[in-house]
Amino acid sequence: MIASSLAVASRLVSGATVEWRCDPRARNQRIYFANHSSHLDFIVIWSALPPRLRASVRPVAGRDYWEQDRVRRYLAGRVFHAVLIERSTGVSTQSAAQAAVERMAREMGERDSLIVFPEGTRSVNGEVGPFKSGLYHLSRRRPDAELIPVHLENLNRILPKGECLPVPMLSRIVFGPPLATSASEEEEKDEFLSRARAALMQLRAIR
């Protein structure tokens, strides 16, 4: 009941139109990767999915934000079943990032899909920043999962960084076709990340 209510509220606030360039009903495991400009991002993506798939699609989010109070902890753990990760800081940045990727791959199990944000942080102006390496390493650990680019438009204006109350406004979500598998398993990390970002950026031009 809470999940359904949040999905309805999210659609009302975001005024989102949803466009699919892939099969929305596919049951195979997926990694949805999207641009990031608002705390509403994963909720809007999740609410746009067919209801029967929501229970098996889990957002990846920062533990520091979603465990700040009882309400957020409840939503993250009991409603969205989020995979909460430690943000990498200090000298342990590399090891923390590796641990986060390993956890994401493990939490997918044989059933679940993930929503991830490869930029690693929210954009202030809505522009899509460079992708960090996590998506590359996750795709290598879970080559069985489809990689689906998702472009979110206008979410940065509905709930800008630093704000806590959303401003109702129209937005747009485009689910793109699966990222093509590289012809070579030896594709370099930077090449893969550029290709994934380009696939997401192409969705912005679709009208």
Full domain range(s) for residue 8: 2-204
pLDDT at position 165 over 50? no
pLDDT of residue 86: 82
Spatial CB neighbours of 174, under 8 Å, sequence gap ≥ 6: 19, 21, 150, 151, 153, 203, 204, 206
pLDDT of residue 166: 53
Report pLDDT digits (tens) over 92-133.
677 888 899 999 999 999 999 999 999 987 776 667 889 999
Rounded mean pLDDT, 148-155: 86
CATH number for the domain including 158?
3.40.1130.10
Total structural domains in the chain?
1
Model pTM score: 0.88
Supply φ then ψ for residue 159, to 5 degrees: -140, 85
